[in-house]
Structure 1
């Protein structure tokens, strides 16, 4: 079954409602001490932390989306539930992160958000919704229907030229990358050619808001290198923002410039190809050419 543009719009409204409800639960606990648990995930702390708030938000989201799963015969992949592999059988699946950036949330710092996407079995994102409970900003996009910020059409300025500041959004694990200092030096050298004198490094957010901030704070980029070990973020970390990036004309691809593998067959992790999010293609091309990143799956 192929969903029509009208059906996708309808499903997006369900996702918006679900994201706001989930975000409302998260907002109730913002700034409060919560018990932090650990789950089996990748080797980074950010991927392992979980709280009761994550579960409560997920339950609320799933309750809102349940009617669509039945009516449209959709599969489901959500971070705090086991992967039942239904995403390989159905034509579309909900891809949900009830709270991306849980580590930032537990530290009471900005950088956490709700992320809901609908992805085709082929791995192509069909719609994406991101809700920031702290700012109450709502970002959404539907394939071929444009992107929106707080229900208004959104087209951020993504140009590299005529800007004074470039923002590099990174995960904290990248600070331990053995070529990190070399990479920063290379980046600063390139930016001088564009008359950009200031480099900001943002390292506290989860993957979802890292991507959103690439657009809001353009020019900039957020990437994850390919690596042999499991990790590199998960499908639910990138599915919604990939749709938004596609609709504004920014770059959301694998690090090797192939399409994002958003329905990976053998895992829900993204480490096999890495991820490249940049405000435009020129930035993505420049970053991929840096000597400090020219390693094959042995960078960490």
Structure 2
């Protein structure tokens, strides 16, 4: 069991090392041929694609985290292995996405990352680490200790008149998502909203932590999908510690240790650079549904 902030920080250092190690594997295979498979997951192609690189990176992460799991009696939840239920039995668990943004990785473009979080049994993100191996950028945070980008303190700056909306590529065809964007555009002015598509969930969310007026959201929907716990656990810690807002579309905390399905489609997810912007998005969603 983790008993101090110092122990959390030591575990964060191990997670940073594990992310870099996995990133080396990912980037070393980025320009080579590798096996691509489809798995049973959400309703989007991005959630269904998996490669041998995902599994290789995951194995390396688990090797790096193994001693900490033993020393502190931690559970593990990973994208590419069956949920063993240890997240309900231990005081905290590692939540791992070895290659978030597998689709951009397969397509040879920017947008993929390694994501590692430590989450309490109650669902509070304690540690968040996201590593972009393509640009070699490291995001990290520990609960109550702030957020870092490549070792430098990261804090969301004052709001500006220009709104940046980071969105999954699948959102282009989502009429409800477009309706919320249109509503925001009316408030900010048509030229005051820029939309950035194509990153995986981890880098979309991390982009909010580095932009003065920005957001990333996935609306609730009936079909399973909307990302899974491991897509958001690390960035929930990072963005919150950078001064941003993280919630579902009802304004409630994200369920990061849920019973049953691990998908987020029922309640959606919302990252925003300020409380005011988050409320604007929730209001726009409420008006359009």
Give the Cα–Cα distance (whole angstroms) in 2 for the partners of residues 61 and 124 of structure 1. Answer: 21
Give the Cα–Cα distance (whole angstroms) in 2 for the partners of residues 185 and 97 of structure 1. Answer: 32
Q: Which residue of 1 aligns with 2:201?
A: 207
Deviations 1:190-238 (A, max 9, x none): 113xxx8332211211100000112223311111111222211111000
Answer yes or no: is 1:131 the counterpart of 2:125.
Answer: no
8 A contact 1:101–1:207 mirrored in 2: yes
Give the Cα–Cα distance (whole angstroms) in 2 for the partners of residues 181 and 232 of structure 1. Answer: 16
With the length of structure 2 as denominator, give the TM-score of the two structures.
0.95
Q: Which residue of 1 aligns with 2:16?
A: 16
Q: Relative to 1, partners in 2 of residues 1:273 and 1:183: Cα closer, same or farther, differing over 3 Å?
A: closer
- From 153, 164, 173, give the equivalent of 2:170: 173
Taking only aligned residues, the RMSD between alpha carbons, in angstroms, comes to: 1.6
- Which region of structure 1 is more displaced relative to structure 2, 53-62 or 214-223? 214-223
For these two proteins, the number of residue pairs brought into alignment is 289
8 A contact 1:33–1:106 mirrored in 2: no
Displacement after TM superposition at 1:180 (Å): 4.4
Answer yes or no: is 1:191 the counterpart of 2:188.
Answer: yes
5+ residue gaps, structure 2 = none
Q: Relative to 1, partners in 2 of residues 1:28 and 1:204: Cα closer, same or farther, differing over 3 Å?
A: same
4+ residue runs over 6 A deviation: none
Q: Which residue of 2 aligns with 1:298?
A: none
8 A contact 1:126–1:142 mirrored in 2: yes
Q: Which residue of 1 aligns with 2:233?
A: 239
Displacement after TM superposition at 1:167 (Å): 1.4
SS at match of 2:97: strand
Give the Cα–Cα distance (whole angstroms) in 1 for the partners of residues 258 and 277 of structure 2. Answer: 26
Listed as ranges, the matches of 1:80-159 within 5 Å are 80-157=80-157, 159=158
8 A contact 1:46–1:103 mirrored in 2: yes
Displacement after TM superposition at 1:291 (Å): 5.5
Q: Relative to 1, partners in 2 of residues 1:113 and 1:251: Cα closer, same or farther, differing over 3 Å?
A: same
8 A contact 2:212–2:273 mirrored in 1: yes
